[in-house]
Structure 1
Amino acid sequence: MKARLVEEVHRRLAKAVGPGDSCLDATAGNGLDSLFLARLVGPSGTVHAIDLQEEAIRNTRVLLHESHMDERLLIHQGCHSRIELFLPVKEKGNLRAVVFNLGYLPKGNKEVTTRKESTVSALRKGYEWLASGGVMSVLCYRGHAGGKDEEAAVAELIRSSSWISQTLPGSDSGESPVLHWIEKP
């Protein structure tokens, strides 16, 4: 199910993002979304990536370097709820896409996870930094401690904010991932 939702995110991003755009991978992880976005924005675009963990920063930097895409990447170590500390003010209201994969770093320390409080703050800011017509992808992994609560907080934020969104469950299992796709008018 996870692979199907990741493929769906990439399919939708490919329709929304183009050469010269600026995007944010708000949870860099192992760099796969950063790399995908870097290919979409081309040499004239920019991908910002944020992650709290040094291991994720290193993994993302290495992947993009090995793929010859590192000139398109600006990587920042810190909390995704502090977007304003890392991105230049000219990006505010101009991001074409903001991508979140919530949970823990794949093949990393499963004790270090995203948390609902910082995630809700990050989503609010991410939406604020989106361009008109921009998109935000929030892939929630519910199979870890706190994952179900985090996904519920994301769903409540989307509902209470009246954002234009679609929700795609990975399966009927209460542990399966859920994709929230948000579009800013």
Structure 2
Amino acid sequence: MSRISLTEKVHQSLLPRFRSGSIAIDATAGNGFDTLFLASRTSESGSVFAFDIQQQAIETTRKRLDEAGLLDRTMLICDGHENMAEHIPAPLHGNVDMVLFNLGYLPKADKSVITHTSTTLQALNCALRLLSDAGYISILAYPGHPGGREETEAVKLWAKSLPETSFNICIHKPEHSGSSSPEWIEITSVTG
């Protein structure tokens, strides 16, 4: 039996969350795989907003979406994820269904350009303000690169500090994993 990747597990967990008109954010577009997944599952009445600080990531994502015929339902933004609220139209604030973070660096690119704890925490706080009452945040954190362990631990502490009356938190660490293995943090709004 083949093992599925952590990214595939994230995608599987998202499937039942899509509805007509879903609004999704890919906070770290990278090579565009999460953005493509979101756009392929979002109806024509929905929207996907994808952020990355590297123009290379935006262009790779644009090409991937264009080839799949899904560019029309996606807005690509070359800016830090901590600034996402500035780019999301005001009527969508409080109506975002899901936000995905895939922390670390852009594969096959400059590995010195990484997500940073301070801006990641700002982005997570921003994502909370954008979420709908039944919204969902998924964070894949990678402790294996310089600064990655500190960022992963800070994100887990941040998640654990959220009020239990408002959010369900689940932290997954793959079985048989080492200290540099990725961790998956899920945050689900508790419908009030």
What letter corresponds to residue 34 of structure 2 in structure 1? D
2:34 maps to what in 1?
Answer: 33
Superposed CA deviations along residues 142-162 of structure 1, whole A, max 9, x for unmatched, are 110000100000001011123
CA RMSD of aligned residues (A): 1.3
2:114 maps to what in 1?
Answer: 113
State how 1:1-185 maps to structure 2 within 5 Å: 4-162=5-163, 163-171=167-175, 172-185=177-190
Superposed CA deviations along residues 3-54 of structure 1, whole A, max 9, x for unmatched, are 5211110001111122311110000001111111111112111000010000
CA distance in 2, matches of 1:53, 1:137: 21
1:161 is paired with a residue whose SS is coil
What letter corresponds to residue 52 of structure 1 in structure 2? I
**Whose relative contact order is higher, 1 or 2, with alpha carbons under 8 Å and at least 6 apart?**
1
What letter corresponds to residue 37 of structure 1 in structure 2? L
Larger-gyration structure (1/2): 2
Superposed CA deviations along residues 52-76 of structure 1, whole A, max 9, x for unmatched, are 0000000111100000000010111
CA distance in 2, matches of 1:138, 1:41: 20
- After TM superposition, give the deviation of residue 93 of structure 1 in Å: 0.5
CA distance in 2, matches of 1:19, 1:105: 31
Choose 56-65 or 161-170, whichever is displaced more: 161-170
CA distance in 2, matches of 1:114, 1:3: 25
| Contact in 1 for aligned 2:85/2:130 (Cα 8 Å) | no
Q: TM-score, normalised by structure 2?
A: 0.92
Structure 1 stretches of 4+ with a deviation exceeding 3 A read none
- Percent identity among equivalent residues? 36
Aligned residues: 184
Name structure 1 gaps, 5 residues minimum.
none
Name structure 2 gaps, 5 residues minimum.
none
CA distance in 2, matches of 1:106, 1:31: 11
